[in-house]
Amino acid sequence: MALPILLIVIVVAALAFHFWSPWWLTPLASNWRQMDDTLTITLVITGVAFVVINLFVAWAVFRYRHRDGHRAAYEPHNRRLEAWLIGITTVGIVAMLAPGLLVYAKLINPPSNAMVVEVVGQQWQWRFRLPGPDGRLGSSDPAYVTADNPLGLNPKDPANQDNRIVDAPELHLLVGVPVKLLLRAKDVLHDFYVPPFRTRMNMVPGMVTQMWLTPTQTGRFDILCAQLCGVGHSNMRGVVVVDDRPAYDAWAAKLPTFAALQAQHAGASAMNPLAAKGKLLAQAKGCAGCHSVDGSAGVGPTWHGLYGKTETFQDGSSAKVDDAYLATFIRNPTARVPKGFAPIMPQLDVSDADLAALIAYIKTLGPGGAAGTPATPATPTAPAAPAAPTARADTVQLAQNSLATPRSPAPMAPLSPAADSSSASSSSSSPSPSSPPSGYRAPSQSGPPPLATPIPPLAIPPQPGNAPSAPSGGVSPPRVPSMVPPQTRPQ
């Protein structure tokens, strides 16, 4: 009797937990209510099967329990019973799979009037690209990927020149307007997922996937990566902001074009090539996903004020952060762990030149290294205590999305405080706004405040007594598969 009673208790407890569960879906913020419907169908079918099978087992155990004087009848086949079981199982499986297949077919077939946005995933950050006034996205190829061109856009393609680049983990969408998302990954498998939108799609290196949605509510929603993409997977966060028309137009008008960014990078490199290269490397290699530059908490130690401070480790020892420390820190990040962090930073394959550039950039962010101070090239074998820029579990909150405001990702800081404060008013250091995509209204002059995570300027003021020098070398592009057809590959 014990087993039948236990099975019945399990069924009752499962049903009670389902109907009075404290966890349920986040509020829907897109047109994809069909996603919820398919989930409900699956829950109902599997729930009915769970209840029926467990109650049948409980009944069978009780009905055919061992009793003295009773013998079991051996019946190896029962065609009528088998036909019923096969038929019911087939109907249940079809009822679960067919709605999902129909919804998926609609998900990858966007309407003709949908806006176009490109989403690029990289360990462990998000970037975005929007078309210019001509409504076209130019071609891209991994062969063009450099520190100052992280999206790998073809600089010779005229359609790329007016494309607007969002070099920050914050994307704005227009409420009530369908948008087609073109998704690609630069390194490993990622997945673009915004829970209130219900839609998600894998981002596969070497190919472009797509989906579409129509935002139905204004607000801020978390972007998550739904594929385990590495040790920084849980920190691959971003924000989608759904705006009304005036707010969206104001945001879109402030985005720099690809051509303006290329000119800006060239000017910054001419003034202080080593620190400018270091900043671009930090963005391209995903350092900004774990290390903030404004002092805010992150997965790894903040770079703000790092140079020149005394770092304390979990074993109680300490070391001063200087060039030699940073060199060993980057080469072997898990040898010694800073207090309050976990050893999760992977080893980076960087050349000596790239290492010196990263250190030069970090020095511009700390009180121990004045902005623009030339960095002493670091040697990988310097005898210094390494530290690990790693994660505190309590600093990353992966709560389900809602209409509440999530933690805003930290942007990359300018290479000089002066450059940041003057960039808004200096026409020479900030790109001229471009028009929104075809069909959009002109931006409102009295719109809402600008992007919460603005793209900082790259200009570095020249240092007294130091003549501008030419850029020191390029950054080798990563070896990843092509994302465009062979006929569009660069020659």
Q: Are 138 and 204 in contact (CB under 8 A)?
A: no
- The per-residue b/e assignment along 320-339, b for 16 or more CB within 10 angstroms, e otherwise, is ebbbbbbbbbbbebbebbbe
Which class is 272-365 in CATH? mainly alpha
Nearest to 96 by CA among 168, 152, 47: 47
Instruction: Read off the tokens for 107.
Output: 């998900």
144, 395, 471 from 269: Cα distances, Å: 18, 35, 6
DSSP conformation letters of 416-474: SHHHHHHTTT-TTTSPPP-PPSTTPPPPPTT-----SS-------PPPTT---------
Per-residue pLDDT of the chain (491 residues; tens, 9 = 90+): 788 899 999 999 999 998 888 888 888 999 999 998 998 899 899 999 999 999 999 998 888 888 888 887 888 888 898 999 899 999 989 988 998 899 999 998 899 889 999 999 988 889 899 998 888 888 888 888 877 788 888 888 888 888 888 888 889 999 999 999 999 998 889 999 999 999 889 999 888 999 999 999 999 999 999 888 887 788 788 899 999 999 999 998 888 888 888 887 666 555 667 776 777 777 666 676 677 676 666 667 877 777 777 878 777 788 777 777 787 777 777 777 787 777 767 667 777 777 787 777 887 776 644 443 343 443 433 434 444 433 333 333 333 333 434 444 444 444 443 344 343 333 333 333 334 444 434 434 344 444 444 444 443 444 444 444 444 444 444 443 444 444 444 44
- The per-residue b/e assignment along 282-314, b for 16 or more CB within 10 angstroms, e otherwise, is bbbbbbbbbbbbeeeebbbbbbbbbbeeebebe
pTM value is 0.59
- The per-residue b/e assignment along 27-41, b for 16 or more CB within 10 angstroms, e otherwise, is ebbbbbeebeebeeb
CATH 2.60.40.420 fits 115-259, yes or no: yes
Amino acid letter for position 175: V
Parse the chain into domains and list their residue ranges: 1-66+79-108, 115-259, 272-365
What DSSP designation does 32 have? -
Q: Which residues contact 113 (CB under 8 A, 6 or more apart)?
A: 178
CA angle 466, 469, 470 (to 5 degrees): 175
Nearest to 164 by CA among 208, 193, 132: 132
